[in-house]
Structure 1
Amino acid sequence: MVVVKRPVGRPGRFDNFERFEASLSSKKTKRPAYCDGIGIYKGATVTTVWVKITLPRGGTYNGRTIPVGGPVEHKLGKRSSWDWSQLVAERDRLQGLADRGEPLEAVEVDTFAKYASEWLERKKPTMKGYGVTKGHINSALGPTFGKKALNVITIADVNRWIGKQSAKLKPATVQRQLSTFNAIMNDAVRSGVIEKNPTDRADRIKGVEPRQRFVTDEEWEVILKAVDKIEQDQEENKERTPQQIRGWLRHYVVWAYNSGMRRAEILNLTWDNVRKINGETTVIEVINTKTGKPRTVTCTEEMLTILPALRALDRVEGDNRLFPVSLTTLKRSLTGLWRATGLRDIRLHDLRRTHATLLLQRNIDPRTVAGRLGHSGTAMLAKHYAVDLGDMEAAKAFSTPIVKRKKPKEAADAIEEDGEIEAARSGDLAAPEGHAP
């Protein structure tokens, strides 16, 4: 009987890998064994697979700097999760990334909550209004964006958030919250974490208009009378009123009106900031400014009278501030003051706007006014701080009666008649017929 031999088929595509794996000892080793860039490591309980990649341009991997042409070993996971075709495809994909100079590891982008928390901590030493900004992040932004990775937040996400917030809050409040979100996302763009800020093309918040509230002379008198009444009541009840909330409110309000300083700028002033120039002029060095750029503000006569009164205030030993009061106490005191005036929609910042307006009305150069307020240019004056003086002049001109112009012949006859009358008065001409000379 003739036995027919079966033809031997060609080796399988992955025979070399299968033989390689079969040849591995079951004994635990310290490093993976490799075949054509694919490695296997037999541990005590699980077998894992690896790939070895060459970095022709060098780079970084797993926190280490890899020289040009250096190799890296990249762990893929359990052997049972991969077949040979998948391993070969993954090896080739990673080698392609290395050849193009792209990172081998997937970049894990922080969530908004994590990045915002780190941003806030980084900005805290120089940030004005830290508490307000923290409130925006925790209460307004966190519930919507907190768990999302920065790179997956879309324009649609931002628009939905704007709609939700606008349904329950004033437009200006939503705008302030959005400004905090915008600052965080712009920081992420500058840091290379994300490519674009989704707020760049988000819907605009409607109803946000620049505030243009100014204090008239009559309103200023009302404010002073109200603050005097409050301080009189505090003095009469000083045994029940702590020293921290007595004797400074009028000085603070008048100082704001005369200096044009911001609320926090005044609170942060110390006696070291009071300087004398040429033995005559007293200036205030404003260091903790909103823009971070210090400036000097020359004292008005009223500010000069306030300084000795501030020195006489009762204060905690070692307190070197001009106004020995906390921000919380200031807010409460001002809220009570505005309520006592009965004026509609008044705020401390309105005194700053009024200060700028009064200076411009007295023909002080706009650049000088901008420098006193701490602005780098004059654009903010027209937008937020000062009444349009050109418009005021236009209103005055409109109210001025227009002089009626005479026609050319009427004007000539009038001139001739005026000349004859004048000549008659001087005796140069005979008086007109029917008139006595």
Structure 2
Amino acid sequence: MKDVRRRGRPARYAHFEALHQSLVPGQKKRPTYVHGIGLFRGERGTTAWVKISLRRANTYKGRSYSAGSALEIKLGSLDSWSWEQLEQQHRDLQGRADRGEPLEEAQTVTFAAHAGEWLELKKPVLKSYGIAAGHVAKHLNPTFGAKALTDIAVADVDRWAAKQRKTYKPGAVQRQLTTFKAILNHARKSGLIERSPAADMEPIRGAEARQRFLTEEELKVVLKAARELEEAADGREKYRTNQIKGWLTDFVLWALHSGMRRGEILSLRYGDLRSVPNGGLVAVLQKTKGGSPRVVSCTDEMKAIAERLKEVRREPGDDRLFPVSLTTAKRKLTKLWRSCGLEDVRLHDFRRTHATRLVGAGINMREVAGRLGHRDLSMLEKHYAVFSGDEAASRAAQEAFGSIAKT
């Protein structure tokens, strides 16, 4: 193999050649340096190093170094470098250190790599982790996964959204976009990009907030169908822990009376039910969508449900109020909506109905927001108690214009 180190005037690099020839195979200590260039001769060959003086604090490979310290950097096999290249590398690194510049070139981070880190970070706290992971795997990585975060442009996001709209409903695309924005915003906060290319995207047209409320007659139909499903359960179902007779009706009633989310109900344990001095009962929710615990006062019906469910046969150590799995709850509720002819209903609609009825009964909206776990009124006004202000406006309009038709 040709020795690339011998280019140029031999006398110029004589000190490096002399250093190389003086090394004994199998060095045990650190590299030996001449003018900032170091060599280490091991059993398998000689490696090249450079040593730079840090006049300012800096970092290298994730480690911080204080001003005044020396930093040794391994460059690899000596066969890959000429003496001239080693000198130039030393000058470049020393110059960066003197100017306080980063000693390493910024690494290219792909969207897929950062999305994976974001999901891992959010896994313990993100209630909709499974949905977000599905968005990344199925809808985002196929388009953006191999791209560097810094290479994703606004036009790329626009084209992706237009393509998604051809296949998926506006609401679905909006949820995918929300996950996308969260990942890019985290990349911005982490210093990987200066600005999110999705920051100024308008909401997906047609992705209006769902506004489904149940009337009193519909509620009666749902409860009647739930009882009938329980009565129709075969003998085997009646004695299985997850199919015990009676839980479905109580589950729906608890959702209606509490305004709690499905996940909050399923994770509620008897240890979370606390008696208060006035003789009431409260449910202390530890696992909430917002991440902050909250307290929900129980109605008389909720107290009765808690007592009834104590008779449910459970596995040892299972003190959940409703000892059913998420899969079982989804399956039974889907069957319930179909059996009562209300396939457009979801359990979350009971939460909307709960909020709207409370506001209609004159309960202060801030109190209702607190019961639902919202930090401000914007979510309540947008998604839940939409009739609160409009009913008053309707009565005023009738009073102002009602007599016109009679003239």
Structure 2 gaps, min length 5: 1-6
Cα shift at 1:299: 1.6
Task: Name the residue aligned to 2:13.
Answer: 18
Q: Please say if residues 143 and 160 of structure 2, whose CA atoms lie closer than 8 Å, have aligned partners that are also in contact.
A: yes
Q: Secondary structure at the match of 1:199?
A: coil
Task: Name the residue aligned to 2:382.
Answer: 383
Matches of 1:46 and 1:161 in 2, distance apart? Answer: 51
What is the percent sequence identity of the aligned residues?
48
Instruction: Give 2:14's aligned amino acid.
Output: R
Q: Secondary structure at the match of 1:267?
A: helix
Kindly report which structure 2 residues correspond to 1:103-142, keeping only aligned pairs within 5 A, or say none. Answer: 103-142=102-141
Instruction: Give 1:73's aligned amino acid.
Output: E
Task: Name the residue aligned to 2:142.
Answer: 143
Instruction: Give 2:250's aligned amino acid.
Output: H
Task: Name the residue aligned to 1:244.
Answer: 242
Deviations 1:28-48 (A, max 9, x none): 444656554445566667665
Matches of 2:81 and 2:258 in 1, distance apart? Answer: 73
Matches of 1:298 and 1:240 in 2, distance apart? Answer: 33
Cα shift at 1:269: 0.8
Q: Secondary structure at the match of 2:72?
A: strand
Q: Please say if residues 57 and 68 of structure 1, whose CA atoms lie closer than 8 Å, have aligned partners that are also in contact.
A: yes
Q: Within the alignment, does 1:269 sit opposite 2:268 as a pair?
A: yes
Q: Secondary structure at the match of 1:74?
A: strand
Task: Name the residue aligned to 1:357.
Answer: 356
Instruction: Give 1:18's aligned amino acid.
Output: Y
Matches of 2:203 and 2:370 in 1, distance apart? Answer: 31
Change in Cα spacing, 1:167 to 1:118, as seen in structure 2 (3 Å) is same
The size of the alignment, in residue pairs, is: 391
Task: Name the residue aligned to 2:99.
Answer: 100
Kindly report which structure 2 residues correspond to 1:309-328, keeping only aligned pairs within 5 A, or say none. Answer: 309-328=308-327
Task: Name the residue aligned to 1:171.
Answer: 170
Deviations 1:168-209 (A, max 9, x none): 222222222222232233333333344333321446422211
Q: Please say if residues 284 and 299 of structure 1, whose CA atoms lie closer than 8 Å, have aligned partners that are also in contact.
A: yes
Matches of 2:200 and 2:80 in 1, distance apart? Answer: 43
Q: Please say if residues 356 and 385 of structure 1, whose CA atoms lie closer than 8 Å, have aligned partners that are also in contact.
A: yes
Cα shift at 1:222: 1.7
Matches of 1:314 and 1:75 in 2, distance apart? Answer: 65
Matches of 1:228 and 1:330 in 2, distance apart? Answer: 15
Matches of 1:131 and 1:229 in 2, distance apart? Answer: 33
Q: Please say if residues 59 and 103 of structure 2, whose CA atoms lie closer than 8 Å, have aligned partners that are also in contact.
A: no
Cα shift at 1:56: 0.5
Q: Secondary structure at the match of 2:332?
A: helix
Task: Name the residue aligned to 1:187.
Answer: 186
Q: Within the alignment, does 1:223 sit opposite 2:218 as a pair?
A: no
Give the stretch that moved more between structures: 219-228 or 41-50. Answer: 41-50
Task: Name the residue aligned to 1:159.
Answer: 158
Change in Cα spacing, 1:24 to 1:93, as seen in structure 2 (3 Å) is closer
Cα shift at 1:277: 1.6
Instruction: State TM-score, norm by structure 1.
Output: 0.79
Cα shift at 1:85: 5.6
Instruction: Give 1:167's aligned amino acid.
Output: K
Change in Cα spacing, 1:203 to 1:374, as seen in structure 2 (3 Å) is closer
Change in Cα spacing, 1:195 to 1:402, as seen in structure 2 (3 Å) is closer
Q: Which of these two proteins has the greater Rg computed from alpha carbons?
A: 1
Cα shift at 1:322: 0.7
